[in-house]
Amino acid sequence: MKYLLLASALLAAQANAAITVRDDDGNVVTLQKPAQRVIAMAPHVTELLFAAGGGDKIVGAVNYSDYPEEAKKIPRVGDNRQVDMERVLAMKPDLIVVWMHGSSERQIDQLRKLGIPLYHSEPKKLDNIADNLEAMGKLLGTEAVASAAATELRTKLAALRTQYASRPPVKVFYQVWDKPLYTLNGEHIVSDSLKVCGGVNIFADQKVTAPVVSVEAVLQADPEAVFATAEKDYGGVNLWRPYGMLKATKNGNLFTVNGNLLNRAGPRMIAGTAVLCEKLEEARQHRK
């Protein structure tokens, strides 16, 4: 009888134990019970929460949170420039998952003042996406779903690394936008995708995460492949077609990819990395 009482007490203590994880900023995030009302402050966060089994717990999201399809029905709290703090408060969240970007520091400071637990999600490496899934699973009380999703991502990523580990390197220009001409440096997670595939980011050493570069700088670096994302009213790789001396143009290696798969650090980024790898392999076949 004494052992039964002890076991019951232990189970009760575990049930009431606080949930503690570390976010991508290294901060400890503690909840007294699994979150039931969550606000996602970035599109990749919305995707992570759904993949972790917590889609039905999202009460608010920012603009462009459009995947999966159910995400389009979630009420909006603003965008990456401005968040409606009154609406956030009215939703009574018990967890807000934030993302740090150029104009977000003031917003995040305002959110901190609300006294609502914040989890900062900003995977810097592909492996961190699975880590985020597991952390969110703990915070939401959906560990089983999140763990299975994380394991699947790690398996797919490991297969890609094995497949392309010994492939010859390819110099790459990754074009985020053309006016002005934006790219990403070596600290951005896209560079980790390129690395998996044997791609070498020609602007990896830039200090700014998303630097503006010149056409002349790209021509001087002479990448073997150019990647641009598909967006409305965006010239993309067409910018480089007149430059026949550019190796990427000369060899037919001007590629358009789905920015939602690669510019968002969510679960679909592993699929986006697989597309990058296939295109880079195509570029290798075009070598003369």
- 136 with 257, same domain: the answer is no
- 189 with 118, same domain: the answer is no
Among 118, 153, 188, give the residue marking a domain's end. Answer: 153
Question: Would you say residue 102 lies in a domain?
Answer: yes
- 147 with 186, same domain: the answer is no
Question: Would you say residue 124 lies in a domain?
Answer: yes
- 149 with 172, same domain: the answer is no
The predicted structure's pLDDT at residue 13: 44
Query: Tokens representing 134?
Result: 């597991």
The predicted structure's pLDDT at residue 102: 56
- 8 with 148, same domain: the answer is yes
Q: How far is CA 83 from the centre of its chain?
A: 20
DSSP 150-199: HHHHHHHHHHHHHHHTTSPPEEEEEESEETTEE---TTSHHHHHHHHHTE
Q: Residue 235: which domain range?
A: 167-285
- 125 with 12, same domain: the answer is yes
- 148 with 173, same domain: the answer is no
**Strands ordered across the beta sheet of 254-257:** 199-201, 170-175, 225-229, 254-257
The predicted structure's pLDDT at residue 235: 81
Predicted TM-score of the model (pTM)? 0.90
The predicted structure's pLDDT at residue 12: 47
Instruction: Kindly report the CATH number assigned to the domain that includes residue 34.
Output: 3.40.50.1980
- 27 with 67, same domain: the answer is yes
Question: Would you say residue 9 lies in a domain?
Answer: yes
- Given the structure tokens 């929460």, which residue do they identify? 49
Among 127, 153, 179, give the residue marking a domain's end. Answer: 153
- 109 with 172, same domain: the answer is no
Among 119, 153, 187, give the residue marking a domain's end. Answer: 153
Q: Give CA–CA dist 38/47, Å, rounded.
A: 13
pLDDT in tens, 47-101: 999 999 999 999 999 999 999 999 999 999 988 778 898 999 999 999 999 997 6
The predicted structure's pLDDT at residue 104: 64
- 147 with 15, same domain: the answer is yes
pLDDT in tens, 22-32: 999 999 999 99
What pLDDT tens digit does each residue of the chain (288 aa) get? 555 555 454 444 444 579 999 999 999 999 999 999 999 999 999 999 999 999 999 999 999 999 999 999 999 998 877 889 899 999 999 999 999 765 567 777 777 888 899 999 999 999 999 999 999 999 999 999 999 999 999 999 999 999 999 999 999 999 999 999 999 999 999 999 999 999 999 999 999 999 999 999 999 999 999 999 877 667 899 999 999 999 999 999 999 999 999 999 999 999 999 999 999 999 999 997
The predicted structure's pLDDT at residue 16: 57
Q: What is the share, in percent, of the chain residues with pLDDT greater than 90?
A: 81
Contact 140, 53 (CB under 8 A): yes
Sequence-ordered list of residues with C-beta below 8 angstroms from that of 192, at least 6 positions apart, any chain = 124, 125, 126
- 110 with 41, same domain: the answer is yes
Run of H or E including 20: strand 19-22
Terminal Cα distance for the chain, rounded: 80
Q: How many domains does the chain have?
A: 2
